[in-house]
Amino acid sequence: GCFGKVFCDFGPKFICSDKDGNPPATSQVETILQENPAVVKVLEDQGRHGLETGDFVTFAKVKGGNGKIESGETYEVNVTGPL
């Protein structure tokens, strides 16, 4: 059969911010507590969210929230629990 190997050296200025090579994950939100900063809990049947403090998330189709969470905005994560 046929096979090959490719190596690309993008130099020292190349920045890779993808920590694990997997496509972005999605989760359904169960609740958003109106605190400052907002506290978000995902549905337990979706399993653990897999986020770490310092990760960034973007929300879509947000209804309500009183301006604490806006669709399309990026937020830094501070993990307080597995869900």
- Mind listing the pLDDT tens digit for each residue in 20-62? 777 777 888 888 888 888 888 888 666 677 788 888 888 888 8
What's residue 29's pLDDT?
A: 83
What's residue 66's pLDDT?
A: 65
- State the average pLDDT over residues 1-28: 80
CA 26-42-73 angle, 5° bins: 60
How far is the CA of 57 from the CAs of 10, 25, 26, 41, 75, in angstroms?
27, 10, 10, 13, 5
Peptide bond connecting 24 to the previous residue in cis, omega within 30 degrees of 0:
no
More confident residue, 17 or 29: 29
pLDDT at 65 over 70: no
